[in-house]
Amino acid sequence: MARPTEPAPQSFLPLTSVVFEILVTLASGDRHGYSILTEIRDRSREPLRVGSLYRAIGRLLDDRLIEELDERPDPDVDDQRRRYYRLTDLGRRVAAAEARRLDLQLRHARAARLLADRR
């Protein structure tokens, strides 16, 4: 009768930057590992490496913020069968919570004139 309760999104915060980047990447669609890697590198100029990436992926899988899908080939890369990852509902909520947290932080930073207003 009693459902195992899901942990609150708040309890995951704050996220490390790697983890957040992965969630943001997956928010716009399912990806496989290499694709996540390249997207993060291009987007945030973060010198992400393979080992760190998969450690983070492992953690996210444990916390059920992402889930594994069956392997599919990706024509954009080299058509090898790769494992895809998808954001879970919880993961989406956690990412949103983190984004809100960061936004709030930035707002304070702007108020303190550390960042120019973006109009």
Partner 1 sequence: MLASFLGRLLLLAFPRRFRDRLGRPLVQTLVTDSRGRSGRIAWSRFTAGAFDVVRAGLGERAGSVPERRRRRAMLEALWQDLRVAGRRLNQSRGFAVVALLTLALGIGANTALFQLLEAIRFRSLPITAPSELAEVRIQNFDGARGSFSIWHAGATNGIFEEIRRRQQTFSSVFAWSTGGARFSRDTNAPRFVSQILVSGAFFETLGVQPALGRVLTDADDVRGCASPAVVLGHAFWQSEFGGDPRVLGKRIMLGRDAYEIVGVTPREFTGLEVGRRFDVAAPLCSEWLPAGSSNRLESGTEWFLIVMGRLKPGWTLDRASGHLASISPALFAAALPANYPTESIAGYRAFRLEALGAAYGVSSTREQYAAPLWFLQATALLVLLVGCANLANLMLARGAAREREIAARVALGASRLQIVRVVLAESLLLSILGAVLGAWLAHEISGAIVRFLDGRANQLYLELVLDWRVVGFTSFVAVLTCVLSGLAAAWRSCGVSAAGLLRSAERGLTDNRARVGLRRTLVIAQVALSLVLLAGALLFARSLHNLTRQDLGFRPDGVTVAYVDASGMNIPIDKRADFKEQMLRRLRSAPGVVAVGETTVVPLSNSSSDNEVWIESAAGAAGSPRASSSFSGADAGFFRTLEIPLLAGRTFDAALDTPSAPPVAIVNGAFVNQFLPAGGSAIGRRLWRQARPDFPETAYEIVGVVGNAKYEHLRQPLVPIVYTAISQRPQPSTFSQLVIRTTRTALAPEAVVPMLKGVFAQAGAAIVPTFQDYREMIDRSLVQDALLAALSGFFAVLAVLLATIGLYGSVSFAVSRRTAEIGLRMALGADRRGIFRMVIGEAFVLVAIGCATGWLIAAAVARMLGTMAYGLTPNDPATLFAACALLAVVALAASAMPARRAARLDPMVACRE
Among 53, 65, 94, 95, binds partner 1 (CB under 8 A): 53
Question: Contacting partner 1 (CB under 8 A), which of 8, 27, 69, 77?
Answer: 77
The one-letter amino acid code at 69 reads: L
43 lines the binding site for partner 1 (CB under 8 A): no
Interface pick for partner 1 out of 80, 100, 107, 110 (rule CB under 8 A): 80
The values of phi and psi at residue 66, to 5°, are -130, 165
Among 13, 24, 59, 102, which residue sits at the site for partner 1 (rule: CB under 8 A)? 59
Q: How far apart are CA 17 and CA 69, in angstroms?
A: 24
Please list the helix, strand and coil fractions of the chain in percent, rounded to the nearest 5, in that order.
55, 15, 35
Nearest Cα neighbor of 76 from 15, 25, 32 is 32
What is the footprint of partner 1 within residues 89-118 (CB under 8 A)?
none
- Rounded to whole angstroms, the Cα distance separating 51 from 80 reads 20
| One of 13, 24, 30, 52 touching partner 1 (CB under 8 A) | 52
Tell which positions 9-28 bind partner 1, by CB under 8 A. 11
* Greatest CA separation for the chain: 53
Residues that bind partner 1 (CB under 8 A): 2-5, 11, 32-34, 37, 49-55, 57-59, 61-63, 77-78, 80, 82-83
